[in-house]
Amino acid sequence: MLFLMLAPLTAALAQDEGSAIKGRLEAIDGEERVAVAGVTIVVTQDGTDIGSAVSDEAGEWLVAVPGAGVYQVTLDVTTLPDGIALTDPDATALPEVAVREGQQKTVLFQLGPGAVSTVSSLERFVDLVVLGLKLGAIIAISAIGLSLIYGVTGLVNFAHGEMVALGAVIAFFFHVSVAGPEWPLWIAAIPAILLGAGLGGGQEVLLWRPLRRRGTGLIAMMVISIGLSFALRNLILILFKGEPRSFVDYAVQREVEFLGISTVPKNIVIILASVVILILVGLFLERTKTGTAMRAVADNKDLAESSGIDVNRVILTTWLVGGGLAAIGGIFLGVSEQLQFDMGFKLLLLIFAAVVLGGLGSAYGAMVGGFIVGLVVEVSTFWVDVEFKTAVGLGVLIVMLLLRPQGILGSRERIG
Amino acid sequence: MDIGGILIDALRASIGPVAAAYAVSAIGLNLQFGYTGLLNFGHVGFMLVGAYGMAITVDLGGSLWLGILVGILASVVLGLILGVPTLRLRADYLAIVTISAAEMLRLIVRSSWADPFTSSVFGIQQFAGAFFDLNPFDPGSPYGFGDFAFRGRQLWVMVVAWAIVGLAVLFTALLIKSPWGRIIRAIREDEDAVRSLGKNVFGYKLQSLMIGGALGGIGGMMLAIEQQNVFPNAFLPRVTFFLYVMVILGGAGTILGPVLGAIVFQFLFFFFDGVMVQAQAAGWFGEAIDATDAAQVKLMLVGIGLMALMAFRPQGILGNREEMLVGD
């Protein structure tokens, strides 16, 4: 019996030449690095248990895997020593670890001092509010495009999440990738936003406008958009690969005091920059001719057309603006968390909650809805398990549909 | 490149139990999307609750047959929960809620909170013993001829699975020919006209969503029984895309379309998979595409395929253009 139990272990050690997933667990506390021993790591493949390992005195662990493939690596948080926790409590599992034949793949779990014991519940609540505002800002910026495009064309674009992800990935290319110019992030963001806008405009010119001209119905267009989202997501997966990665700039920051709240500077910058962008979008919609035309087309397309507005031009502008904003949202999301090929799809679910909450088709609704959803989702983790924070977003969505389906700022006739 | 071998593998896949399970799910989606015009973008969620409903029941000590009942019931209830808030609204609201709900359900079953029931990422195994006990074939020995010999275990699954497909086809054919079927098709064409005739449009849509959901749940259970395993990553959002491709490829709004679509899709999918894997191994793509990329290129093409189908031939193989909703 003992032999049986030991067999996988010895196999793991003997298989130094074969494919394996390994890593070294270290808790980073300020400048100090401490090896973390006795933590269980489990490797699975599509739900099948491949093997597990316990980190040794040096924090090192290794799990042999049968060969090339994509594996899931999970850290058993219950085995973490007291006072040590994952830096990102959500990151208990790495869902897509791709291993090549014969490769010993190193994966990283970021550990730090456990926060729960040292922080008072009021401070934790305030922290969550800040995180909620930040997530809300990201959702709001990304959601405006979806909502405006819906307003002028009636199409719910299920590929909008991929526009968010592409913004982040393009910025990653100019910022981090060795094949790119390795510019600082704030410079790399410029081509990313321009290309994001171009992607929106390109979609309109090459795909949606011809489809409208052919008389393709809205339901068929939504099915096409879901096909597009699937194609783009896999394209991103091919270009970016499965592992989550981070921008280099602003990745690690020290907390600062700001208005009595201690948080990392990037959170404050994201929130403030988003507010500025949202105000600019509001001014654009209210004060410029194009913005007014956009609202007119959203309100009544035929009337707008008969009063001399070039509807196709307005729709194109909307796609350009929406694409650019989605790219900004993606870059902020990448700074705030990590980049992953399906980051856009995950955010899309929250974007949906936000636009339905605020009123589908209304840019201001998307802003209000975005902040509410962001706050509710983050603050809910004060009471419920962090794994459920996105489920809370969906709960908000369904309750809203039951109580007030047109949303906070939406108009009644859009929904029926 | 071994084209013959690839063809045989693809043909085997297209008549295998997985194709049959997809066909049953696709029949359910076709009832919702093809006949009623409901945009259910989270069909995989119905498959998930069906499969998990069954597996958890057996795990807690119930019989497999009770589990199957629970699974069907669970998917019907899911239809009710998602339909009530959304079906009075425009089509896009159902799409938004279903796509979100399906992914949430997957995240919930894989969470550590649900672990006591679902074993989170590892899933539940070995719950279908009662089904395999009924196997009249010898599980180990091969049946059939040449390259198309199947082991007794697999043959038993295939026979039952395709029988279920047959029943599901018969069931939908009867439904669609009935007055109920005429009304849901009329709802797809012009909801307001049906309403003006005094019909409860909301009720009919809800029924269609629930019945289609139950068929989705049955398909999910068939997948689970075949593999004796349910785990969260079997229910990725991509399954819903595949089902849409199948329904539209075969012909949305036709009785046999989804079945044909499932068979053709599985064939093409595995044929292309074989070609990509062998081409990659033979170094046709050089360093540009590695083995995992090859699989993703294939998935990307599925997405493009869905777009092209919907744009250029929305009626699929069997449909006629009149039946297919093209003008909204």
Q: Is B320 an 8 Å CB contact of chain A?
A: no
Interface touch A415/B89, C-beta < 8 Å: yes
Which residues, 6+ apart, have CB-to-CB distance to A238 below 8 Å? Answer: B289, B293, B296, B297, B300
Q: How far is B311 from chain A (nearest CA, A)?
A: 7
Cβ burial of A20 (10 Å; 0-12, 13-18, 19+) is buried
Q: What is the pLDDT of residue B163?
A: 97
A107 touches A25 (CB < 8 A): no
B91: Cα within 13 Å, side-chain hemisphere: 23
B328 vs A contacts (CB less than 8 Å): 217-220
Rg of chain A on CA atoms, in Å: 24
- φ/ψ region of B316 (left if φ > 0, alpha if ψ in -120 to 50, else beta) reads left
Taking the C-alpha atoms of residue B43 and residue A393, their distance in angstroms, rounded to an integer, is: 20
Q: Strand A20-24's sheet: what is its strand order?
A: A60-64, A20-24, A104-106
Chain A residue with Cα closest to B85: A402
Six-digit token string for B279: 């081409």
Question: Chain A partners of B290 at a C-beta cutoff of 8 Å?
Answer: 100
pLDDT (mean) for A304-309: 90
Which of chain B's residues have a Cβ under 8 Å away from the Cβ of A343?
Answer: none
Looking at the predicted structure, is the pLDDT value of residue A122 above 60?
yes
Rounded-to-10 torsion of CA A228, B255, B162, B296? -10
Question: Do the beta carbons of residue B83 and residue B206 sit within 8 Å?
Answer: yes
* Number of residues that make up chain B: 328
Identity of the amino acid at B2: D
Q: Look up residue B66 and give its two tokens.
A: 């009770």
Picking from A153, A238, A352, A360 by the largest number of B CB atoms within 10 A of its own CB, the best residue to mutate is A238
Is the model more confident about A113 or about B33? B33
Q: Which of A72, A216, A219 has the CB atom closest to B39's CB atom?
A: A219
Q: Which of A223, A227, A356 has the CB atom closest to B304's CB atom? A: A227
Residue B87: CB partners within 8 Å, gap ≥ 6? B38, B94, B202, B205, B206, B209
Q: What are phi and psi of A309, to 5 degrees?
A: -85, 135
Report residue B112 as tokens.
């550590």
d(CA A395, CA A391): 6
Q: Which residues, 6+ apart, have CB-to-CB distance to A194 below 8 Å?
A: A324
Of B107, B234, B314, the CB nearest to A391: B107
Do B149 and B142 form a contact (C-beta atoms < 8 A)?
Answer: yes
CB contact under 8 A, A397 and B100: yes
**Among A46, A68, A217, whose Cβ lies nearest the Cβ of B328?**
A217
Contact list in A for residue B291 (CB cut-off 8 A) is: 68, 100
Do residue A227 and residue B91 have CB atoms under 8 angstroms apart? Answer: no
B38, B104, B189, best to mutate vs chain A, most A CBs in 10 Å: B104
Q: What percent of chain A has pLDDT over 70?
A: 90
In this predicted model, what pLDDT tens digit does every residue of A63-118 receive, in sequence order? Answer: 888 777 788 888 877 777 777 777 777 677 887 788 877 777 888 887 776 554 45
Q: What pLDDT band is residue B77 in, cutting at 50, 70 and 90?
A: very high
Helix spans in B251-290 (H) = 257-281
Give the pairing of strands A69-75 and A26-29. unpaired
Give the closest residue to A33 by CA, choosing from A112, A107, A114.
A112
Give whichever of A1-5, A40-44, A226-230 has the largest mean pLDDT: A226-230
Residue type for B309, please? L
- The number of beta carbons lying within 10 Å of the beta carbon of residue B264 is 18
Contacts within 8 Å (CB) and 24+ apart, B197-204: B202/B87, B202/B88, B204/B36, B204/B180
Answer yes or no: do A47 and B104 touch at CB < 8 A: no
Contact A238 B296 (CB under 8 A): yes
Confidence band, pLDDT 50/70/90 cuts, at residue A414? low
Residue A158 has pLDDT above 50, yes or no: yes
* Residue B121 to residue A93, Cβ atoms within 8 A: yes
pLDDT for residue B326:
43
Q: What is the mean pLDDT of residues B10-38?
A: 94
Of the candidates A220, A237, A345, the beta carbon closest to that of B326 is on A220
Whether the pLDDT of residue B287 is over 90: the answer is no
The DSSP-derived string for A289-346 is HHHHHHHHHHH-HHHHHHTT--HHHHHHHHHHHHHHHHHHHHHHHHHHS-B-TTHHHH
- Is the model more confident about A333 or about B310? A333
The shortest C-alpha distance from A402 to chain B (Å) reads 5
Please list every residue in chain B whose beta carbon sits closer than 8 Å to the beta carbon of residue A402: 84-85
Question: What is the rounded distance in angstroms from the CA atom of residue A170 to the CA atom of residue A143?
Answer: 19
Q: Specify the amino acid at residue A196.
A: G
pLDDT value for B67? 95
Predicted ipTM of the assembly = 0.85
Residue of B nearest to A387 (CA): B111
* Least reliable range by pLDDT among A33-42, A159-168, B100-109: A33-42
pLDDT, average across residues B163-189: 95
The alpha-carbon gap from A257 to the nearest alpha carbon of chain B, in Å, equals 35
Contact B299 A234 (CB under 8 A): yes
- Find all residues with CB under 8 Å of A239, minimum gap 6, and list them: A169
* CA-wise closest residue to B46 among B259, B219, B222, B234: B219
Contact call for A352 and B96, based on CB within 8 A:
yes
- Single-letter amino acid code for the residue at B38: L
The pLDDT of residue A288: 94
Please say whether the dihedral angle defined by the alpha carbons of residues A181, A184, A189 and A190, taken in this order, is positive or negative.
negative
Residue A81 DSSP code: P
**Distances from the Cα of A389 to the Cα of A74, A374, A376, A408, B282, angstroms:** 19, 10, 9, 22, 46
Tell me the CA end-to-end span of chain B in Å, nearest whole number: 45
Residues 118-147 of B with CB under 8 A from A: 121-123
Domains in chain A, ordered, with CATH? Answer: 20-113 (2.60.40.10), 121-414 (1.10.3470)
Q: Which residues of B touch A215 (CB under 8 A)?
A: 326-327
> Between B281 and A289, where is the model more confident?
A289
Cβ of residue B253 closer than 8 Å to a chain A Cβ? no
* Biggest distance spanned by C-alpha atoms of chain B: 65
Q: Which of A19-28, A193-202, A244-253, B191-200 has the highest mean pLDDT?
A: A193-202
In terms of average pLDDT, the best of A401-415, B4-18, B131-145, B309-323 is B4-18
Report the candidate in A315, A151, A156 with the shortest Cα–Cα distance to residue A223.
A156
Going from the C-alpha of B304 to that of each of A48, A224, A331, B263, the distances in angstroms are 31, 9, 26, 19
CA atoms of B93 and B97, how far apart (whole Å) = 6
Find out whether A56 and A76 touch, Cβ atoms under 8 Å: no
pLDDT of residue A12: 39
Whether B88 and A416 lie within 8 Å, measured CB to CB: yes
A to B CB pairs, distance under 8 Å? 174
Encode pLDDT of A203-235 as tens digits: 999 999 999 998 888 888 988 999 999 999 999
Whether residue B41 and residue A214 make contact (CB cut-off 8 A), yes or no, is: no
B80 touches chain A (CB under 8 A): no
**From A406, which residue of chain B is nearest by alpha-carbon distance?**
B89
Of residues A68, A353, A414, nearest to B291 (C-beta): A68
pLDDT in the model for residue A9: 38
Please report the pLDDT score of residue A2 as a whole number.
38
Contacting B residues, span 275-294, partner chain A, CB-CB under 8 Å: 289-293
